[in-house]
Amino acid sequence: MLLPDTFNALVIGSSGSIGSAFAGLLAGEPRCCALRQLARSAHPGFDLRSPERFASIVETLVPQSPFGLIVDATGALTLPAGRPEKALRELEAGRLAEAFSVNTIGPMLLMRHLAPLLARGPSVYLKLSARVGSIGDNRKGGWYGYRASKAALNMMLQCAAIELQRNNPLTQVLAVQPGTVRSALSQPFLAGQTQVLEAPDAVAGILRALDQLTPCAGARFIDNRGQDIVW
Ligand SMILES: NC(=O)c1ccc[n+]([C@@H]2O[C@H](COP(=O)([O-])OP(=O)(O)OC[C@H]3O[C@@H](n4cnc5c(N)ncnc54)[C@H](OP(=O)(O)O)[C@@H]3O)[C@@H](O)[C@H]2O)c1
């Protein structure tokens, strides 16, 4: 059991399919005493590419803190610069920088500001990652920027877990693969997929996993059933 008996929760990216499913299920969770949501489109708003605003935005969350659960469900696969790269000849500096900005640098700078708001004792920092960010599991290649930005995210989550657990061994950092979930992010790539989950089903599985897992040293990279994924 990774969560405390009662907790306040924060969901970042609550406008997305998976983020809104987290907010919906946590709103009906009796152990969740207070729920805050953060989305780009709702006041105070935030953009992962504008980290200079993070300190003042996080300041607005202090009244609901400490949080026993922080979920960051942000991320992007298709970027303003285009669809994910399939081949080396498609690599461009700007597109790669965009992927790292939204999937790695933004989320980690946000975590930097949010970490002091985690509850002492049992607490979870859950970041949506992706199985395609696994180096050990990469047998198909492609999606260079997305894969690499999630792999880099995973490495930084592990660094953060080690650092946070020095002060609070019961803090668990999770990098989570939600499954293939119907959403704006996945929609262009669903053709031929046989096992597509609806977001509430994927999130219900993740929340069940939080009740079944026990704290461990370092971060964990898990799927929506709580199964470990090779880094
Ligand atoms: N769906 C899947 O099959 C799947 C599979 C593996 C991993 N994931 C991961 O799961 C997470 C959630 O994905 P999803 O499927 O729920 O996608 P989604 O519905 O497209 O949601 C993405 C969320 O990220 C936010 N976001 C994107 N760019 C942002 C930016 N620059 N600043 C602030 N917010 C930004 C979006 O905000 P707006 O609403 O304002 O755009 C939205 O809240 C992502 O990390 C994704 O990599 C998803």
Decide if 228 is inside a domain. no
Decide if 230 is inside a domain. no
Q: What is the CATH number of the domain that holds 116?
A: 3.40.50.720
For ligand 1, pick from 25, 53, 174, 185 the residue to mutate: most ligand atoms within 8 Å of CB.
Answer: 185
- Report pLDDT for 90: 97
Encoded tokens for 61? 């969350």
Encoded tokens for 108? 């980690």
Report which of 106, 89, 35 is spatially closest to residue 64, judged by C-alpha positions.
Answer: 35
- Quote the domain boundaries for residue 118: 7-222
- Report pLDDT for 1: 87
Decide if 229 is inside a domain. no
Peptide bond into 122 cis (omega under 30): no
Q: Which atom of ligand 1 is nearest to the CA of 49?
A: 31
Separation between Cα atoms, residue 21 and residue 26, nearest integer Å: 8
186: left (phi over 0), alpha (psi -120 to 50) or beta: alpha
In the sheet where 123-128 sits, what is the strand order?
A: 32-38, 7-12, 69-72, 123-128, 171-176, 220-222
Peptide bond into 66 cis (omega under 30): yes
Report which of 69, 31, 30, 74 is spatially closest to residue 49, judged by C-alpha positions.
Answer: 74
Span from the CA of 167 to the centroid of ligand 1 (angstroms): 31
Decide if 143 is inside a domain. yes
Decide if 231 is inside a domain. no
- The position carrying tokens 């969740």 is 32
One pLDDT digit (tens) per residue for the chain, 231 residues: 899 999 999 999 999 999 999 999 999 999 999 999 999 999 988 999 999 999 999 999 999 999 999 999 999 999 998 899 999 999 999 999 999 999 999 999 999 999 999 999 999 999 999 999 999 999 999 999 999 999 999 999 999 999 999 999 999 999 999 999 999 999 999 999 999 999 999 999 999 999 999 999 999 999 999 999 999
Q: Which amino acid is at 56?
A: S
Decide if 1 is inside a domain. no
What phi and psi, each to the nearest 5 degrees, are found at residue 118?
Answer: -70, 145
Q: Are 106 and 51 in contact (CB under 8 A)?
A: yes
For ligand 1, pick from 37, 40, 72, 206 the residue to mutate: most ligand atoms within 8 Å of CB.
Answer: 40
Decide if 208 is inside a domain. yes
The SS3 of residue 43 is coil
Question: How many domains does the chain fold into?
Answer: 1
